[in-house]
Amino acid sequence: MRTRSLLGAGLIAALAILSSHSAPASAKQPPSKTVPKAGDLKKYDDVITKDFTTTTGVFAVHRHDDKLYFEVPQDKQGRLFLWQAEVAKGPGGGMFGSWGGAALGSAVLKFERRANKLYLWKVGFAKRSDGKAVQASIDASATDSIVGVFNVECEGKDRSVVINVSDTFIFGISDLPITRAAGAAGASVDSGRSYLSEVKAFPSNIEVRALITFRASGGFGGPAGPGGLAGLGGAKSVTALVHHSLAILPETPMQGRLADPRVGYFTEEFVDYSHPKQWAVAREFITRFRLEKKDPSAAVSEVVKPITFYLSKEIPEKWRPFMKQGVEDWAPAFEKAGFKNAIICRDAPTRSEDPNWDPEDARHSVIRWVAEPVQNAMGPHVHDPRSGEVISAHIIFWHDMVKTAQTWYFVQCSAVDQKARKFPLPDDTTGAMIRYVCAHEVGHTLGLRHNHRASQAFSVSQLRDPKFCAEYGSVASIMSYGRCNYVAQPEDKVDPKNLLPKIAPYDNFAIEWGYKPVASAKTPDEERKTLDEWAAKQLDNPFLRFGGEDGPSMVDPTVLTENIGSDPIQVTACGLKNLDRVLEHMLAATTEKGEDYALLEEVYEELLNARLGWFMAVAKQVGGVVENRTLGGRGGEAFVRVSKDKQKEAVKFLLENAFTTPTKLLNPGLVNQFKFSGTGSDIAGQQRLMLRSLLSAGRLARLADAELLAPDKTYTAVELVNDVQTGLFSELKSDAPKIDPLRRQLQRGYVDLLKAEFQPAPAAPSPIGPQGAGAAAGARPASELRAVGRQALGTLAGQLEAAKGKAKDPLTIAHIDDLHSEITTILAADKKK
């Protein structure tokens, strides 16, 4: 999720495992049997005195003031533990600061004893085999690393080892950093102002909290962003409460499920050296929670352990019911997959109800609320790299996600929803948006990636049909960035409750594909035939298709963000009508007597950005290549180019709508409230951006590729440039040309764009080799645009010459004369080369 948009992802979307990628074999080796020499170790009672308080869990924990000892039994040496750390409390500072719930990292660790040392290994799983002969080669190339070493202070019963970890949770380990909790680069720990706060031991995990003060190294007090904290003024130190979890992983990992490019899951990658193909094969397990039926023979059964999310105590009261709904909206999808009551949401227990409950506990999945003015939310998870099993997930809502939700809905839906024509929007409307955002983030924690193809699945007629919208909402997957239904018109009478995304066909399909047990399959490979048959359902049902967030999606016009509908031209036409309606009530909706116009300006900019995004989706038709995620024997061609007629239609639409002057957007009664100047520049800047995109080298290269493959059916670069030039200079055909300021800027931008094709490239440092020498000499690679542009400029020069005598407006005459002179200079200079 990016600012003012759902993660991403992703952001961001899942937490990165910080382990090195290496063979798991070393994790399976038994602990050392070396017996220490007599007299090397202290007596147990001399180390763990009566002053210590002992708590027994996955292993015993002994504490006295700031002294902390772990007692690791033999049967836990060599076992794998998942370490993760989060900020429990911090000074804040925007999305990248040190806020409660911020992840610091995770890794898979194991303890191994050799003589009187206990070594801490960081273990990776990037190489795997069947444990037979080739395993020796994998073991020899393993890169597991020792990240810590502890002296064995004494032995307990059954040769358990006692180690001093007092400083470990204050200073951290170099490969397992905690200094990120400072929110600034180069910070160091001030031990005098840091201490252990709380230590708890549970049957499967150890939880440690440390209050740590960091000294600055010049990073604090700077602007917000990665590595900087805003709002701290001249502060030289910050204090954060850091929470560590050390949870033992299952001795036998969950059976992994192999990924499929037709279904979008986050994955754990590895290389299989025992594949039947007999060469190394890159493979991936999807990430998912462990769900088991109480009655494996039943088609639908209660689950052994449901996926449980807790609402942390800091979440505002009015939004809690909506967030609970957002979590449990996934329950029907799991029931379709055979799991009843598989996912639930509860309020976090109070201190009196459960004094040991912590929101950062590795065993719990929690939704947190961060008091920072950031317009975002995200849903990361931590998983077992051996199998992809999700261990826990912490969804983060920043406070101003509420503002984003309201702004989205106002811009996209207030044309048809009269209740949404005044900020702040009604609580039920805002709550419904928060419910949608929460369900989207929960989907990420369940393992699902964004599906940006799903927002293009529905037709215009379906999006304007009240019955269809009541059943399906606005997009075929809540995991898309489709947002709200801006296509429905007031006369369609679509109920506002049905203008938002909801759990839709793809979501049900993806959960079933990822979670439904495959009867009798004992290994991941035995599942593949059934999983292939399930995935193939999308061949006949476009609502089930997946796409986005990889290379081909950049040129695929069916993979879009911030857009909905299967025909971007038709849906944009509908959206523009609604934006005109929104402009009529925007001033009243965003202002109060005696207050400034800051909200008006922000919402106006959001409207401009939405409009730009719709036009860019139309432009994506030109040179567009649709990626059909077909596998062998499943479907036709993997890549199909957009038809010539559709590309020409897109260019015509842009010339008539994107590259004309939007008079309603330039209403002085609106923009003069918050703009001294620059409104025209904003729109002109967007128009130039669209023009550069439309005539980009990549797009023209794809047109050339299409010409090579099917010359009789291709929309050529010559046709594109001629169509664009004719549309941009349409005023030249009139009896008395008059060109307004925005059009003059756009026309100058077009000439500048072509002019750049005749200029030498900027000099660059010359790498070794003949290609580097060319770059250093300032040579610009030949492009389709340069060849076509030379011809187009010659034609344009003649048209400008003819229009000179017809124009009456002084500024238009000056503009025409200037462009003609510029083009003449460009072409004359080119001839001299």
SS3 assignment, position 359: coil
* Of 221 and 164, more confident: 164
- Please check the confidence at residue 20 and state whether its pLDDT lies above 90: no
Average pLDDT for residues 325-348, to the nearest whole number? 98
User: Quick one: pLDDT at residue 94?
Assistant: 47
Contact 801, 785 (CB under 8 A): no
User: 88, 209 in Cβ contact below 8 A?
Assistant: yes
Q: What is the rounded distance in angstroms from the CA atom of residue 412 to the CA atom of residue 641?
A: 31
pLDDT at 103 over 90: no
Q: Does residue 32 register a pLDDT over 70?
A: no
Q: Which amino acid is present at 810?
A: P
pLDDT score at 559 = 94
Q: Which of 371, 517, 515 is nearest to 443 (CA)?
A: 515
For the record, the structure tokens of 371 come out as 């008091």
pTM of the model: 0.86
Give the pLDDT score at 31. Answer: 41
At residue 182, the pLDDT reads 57
The chain-wide mean pLDDT, for the chain, equals 86
| Beta pairing class for 390-398 and 377-378 | antiparallel
pLDDT band at residue 25 under the 50/70/90 scheme: very low
User: Would you list the domain boundaries of the chain?
Assistant: 15-248, 729-762+779-833
Q: What is the mean pLDDT of residues 159-183?
A: 78
Say if CB 480 and CB 450 are below 8 A apart. Answer: yes
Q: Output the pLDDT for position 104.
A: 82
Q: How far apart are the first and last CA of the chain?
A: 50
Tell me the pLDDT band of 240, cut-offs 50, 70 and 90: confident
Q: What is the DSSP string of 244-298?
A: EEEEEPPSSPPPP-B--TTS-B-EEEEEESS-TTSS-EEEEEEPB----BSSTTS
Please report the pLDDT score of residue 485 as a whole number.
98
Q: What is the pLDDT of residues 188-223, one digit of tens each?
A: 888 889 999 989 898 889 999 899 888 876 544 333
Q: CA 190, CA 183: separation in Å to the nearest integer?
A: 15
Q: Could you tell me which residues come within 8 angstroms of residue 393 by beta carbon, excluding any fewer than 6 positions away?
A: 309, 365, 366, 379, 380, 381, 382, 445
Q: Can you read off the two tokens belonging to residue 30?
A: 């038994």
Q: In angstroms, what CA-CA distances link 511 with 1, 447, 454, 479, 503?
A: 21, 9, 15, 12, 11
In this predicted structure, which of 411-420, 634-643, 781-790 has the lowest mean pLDDT?
Answer: 781-790
Q: What is the pLDDT of residues 502-551, one digit of tens each?
A: 999 999 999 999 999 998 899 999 999 999 999 999 999 999 999 977 77
Say if residue 425's pLDDT is above 80: yes
pLDDT of residue 746: 97
| pLDDT at 5 exceeding the cut of 90 | no
